């Protein structure tokens, strides 16, 4: 882990940015809620709050230990492979740690909360609150610390440059790998284990459209997410890429351009495909652009960032449709496409456009670890967790809605809640 001293001014700047970064969490929470059904809205938003709380507590008690410190090192083929942290227990010595270490820990607290939120959106309308909290606890205790240590904590992925001459090692300034792709593969595992919503894939015909209940939440969530993402990417560039202050405006511009290119591309694709632009897919495109920027905003030029966003925006509506219609994957928030695919594309783009030789191979090795190691591991953990804490609500709960079933009251008590049959 880098312990480069930072000036007081830089410390204050990063701290201020990290105090704004939770707006990304708020934005994703609103998107998750708006893309679900109205009879599960209160449970969805409460779940987002509960997940943030559980992940913070568990990360403080357990996860931070596996992330910080010098790390456990395996010697393999004459090279050190630093795979897990050896930090102090229960955040011991945090007050006297170096300013960089304190800010890094704050960044990681926010990162684990955002990562744990992502699968919650995919499990909307059928994932139990207890299951969402259990998933957050597992991510915060074990999975996130191991991934984040490899990428940010001086672990083996960050050392690919030193040990194997692969560019500057695996680069992930804004958490595209540790947060977005990790959250996205967790979303895939949750969707596979919990199964689709009742009535989504009927015996006859194509899948049923179950549209999100509030486009205003979704689109306002996108605007909130932009503010959070700007802070996130700039703070990440300072903390993990050690960018000079003069490079920060470009990082912010790149973030905005990536999101803008993405929503413009999604707007055009949905306009061409359906005759009119689709609001929820445009929101997904915007988020995919932000996610892609997490990997490369601090590395690429503005034009390259715009290109990255445009590609993310073209991929998003096509993949959302492919997952639902061809692959029978019911992902209400589109998290698999937005966070997993958007994050992977951003990581790849960072490798393609980075000036250092060997950077592309370093990024490919990181992508290989996320797909070949993290996805099967997460699926195994969740499969086991599902034996103890059932992910899916019972049929009766799904019929009456998660709000009434889990909370005893709805988010909109004065609204008439439609039965399933009214959608058919």
Partner 1 sequence: MKYAGLLVMPAGFFLTLAALILFPDPAMRAAFVLCGLAVEALGLVVAVRGHMAARGESRL
Site residues (CB under 8 A) for partner 1? 76-77, 79, 160, 164, 192, 196, 201-203, 327-329, 357-358, 360-361, 364-365, 367-369, 371-373, 375-376, 379-380
Task: Report, in this order, helix, strand and coil percent for the chain, each rounded to 5.
Answer: 70, 5, 25
CB nearer to partner 1: pick between 27 and 351: 351
Q: What are phi and psi of 169, to 5 degrees?
A: 80, 180
Smallest separation, CB 322 to partner 1 (Å) = 10
State the greatest distance between any 2 C-alpha atoms of the chain, in Å, as a whole number. 68
The dihedral over CA atoms of 307, 309, 314, 320, expressed in degrees to the nearest 10, equals 160
CB nearer to partner 1: pick between 11 and 381: 381
Smallest separation, CB 297 to partner 1 (Å) = 24
CB nearer to partner 1: pick between 74 and 90: 74
CB nearer to partner 1: pick between 223 and 373: 373
Inter-axis angle of helices 41-58 and 129-138, to 10 degrees?
Answer: 30
Smallest separation, CB 185 to partner 1 (Å) = 10
Smallest separation, CB 62 to partner 1 (Å) = 25
Smallest separation, CB 103 to partner 1 (Å) = 31
CA 170/CA 156 separation, integer angstroms: 9
CA 281/CA 277 separation, integer angstroms: 8
CB nearer to partner 1: pick between 80 and 302: 80
Smallest separation, CB 329 to partner 1 (Å) = 7
Inter-axis angle of helices 99-122 and 215-239, to 10 degrees?
Answer: 150
What does the block give as tokens for 63? 């996860």
Smallest separation, CB 295 to partner 1 (Å) = 17
Q: Where are the alpha helices (DSSP H) in 74-203?
A: 99-122, 129-138, 144-151, 160-164, 182-194
CB nearer to partner 1: pick between 249 and 372: 372
CA 39/CA 30 separation, integer angstroms: 15
| Residue 406: alpha-carbon gap to chain centroid | 26
Q: What are phi and psi of 81, to 5 degrees?
A: -120, 95
DSSP code string of 169-204: SS--TT-IIIIIIHHHHHHHHHHHHH-PPTTSS-SS
Smallest separation, CB 195 to partner 1 (Å) = 8
CB nearer to partner 1: pick between 67 and 378: 378
Q: How crowded is residue 74: how many other Cβ atoms within 10 Å of its Cβ?
A: 11
């Amino acid at each position: 882990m880098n312990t480069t001293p930072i000036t007081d001014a830089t410390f204050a700047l990063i701290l201020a940015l990290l105090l704004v970064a939770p707006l990304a969490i708020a934005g994703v929470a609103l998107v998750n809620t708006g893309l679900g059904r109205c009879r599960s809205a209160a449970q969805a938003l409460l779940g987002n709050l509960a997940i943030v709380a559980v992940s913070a507590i568990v990360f403080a008690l357990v996860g931070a230990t596996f992330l910080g410190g010098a790390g456990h090192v395996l010697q393999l083929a004459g090279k050190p492979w630093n795979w897990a942290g050896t930090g102090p227990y229960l955040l011991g010595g945090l007050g006297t740690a170096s300013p960089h270490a304190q800010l890094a820990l704050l960044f990681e607290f926010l990162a684990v909360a955002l990562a744990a939120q992502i699968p919650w959106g995919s499990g909307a309308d059928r994932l139990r609150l207890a299951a969402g909290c259990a998933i957050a606890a597992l991510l915060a205790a074990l999975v996130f610390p191991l991934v984040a240590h490899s990428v940010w904590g001086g672990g083996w992925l960050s050392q690919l440059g030193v040990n194997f001459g692969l560019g500057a090692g695996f680069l992930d300034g804004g958490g595209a790998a540790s947060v977005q792709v990790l959250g996205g593969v967790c979303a895939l595992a949750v969707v596979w284990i919990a199964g689709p919503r009742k009535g989504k894939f009927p015996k006859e015909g194509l899948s049923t459209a179950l549209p999100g209940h509030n486009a205003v939440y979704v689109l306002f969530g996108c605007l909130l997410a932009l503010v959070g993402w700007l802070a996130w990417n700039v703070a990440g560039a300072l903390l993990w890429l050690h960018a000079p202050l003069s490079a920060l405006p470009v990082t912010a511009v790149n973030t905005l351009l990536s999101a803008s290119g993405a929503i413009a591309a999604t707007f055009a694709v949905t306009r061409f495909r359906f005759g009119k632009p689709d609001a929820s897919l445009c929101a997904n495109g915007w988020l995919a652009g932000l996610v892609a920027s997490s990997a490369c905003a601090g590395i690429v030029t503005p034009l390259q960032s715009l290109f990255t966003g445009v590609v993310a925006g073209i991929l998003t509506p096509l993949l959302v449709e492919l997952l639902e219609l061809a692959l029978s994957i019911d992902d209400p928030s589109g998290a698999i496409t937005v966070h997993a695919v958007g994050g992977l594309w951003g990581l790849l783009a960072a490798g393609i456009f980075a000036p250092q030789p060997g950077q592309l191979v370093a990024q490919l090795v990181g992508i290989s670890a996320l797909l070949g190691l993290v996805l099967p591991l997460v699926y195994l953990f969740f499969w086991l967790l599902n034996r103890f804490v059932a992910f899916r609500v019972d049929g009766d709960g799904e019929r009456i809605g998660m709000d009434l079933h889990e909370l005893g009251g709805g988010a909109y008590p004065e609204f008439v809640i439609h039965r399933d049959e009214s959608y058919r």
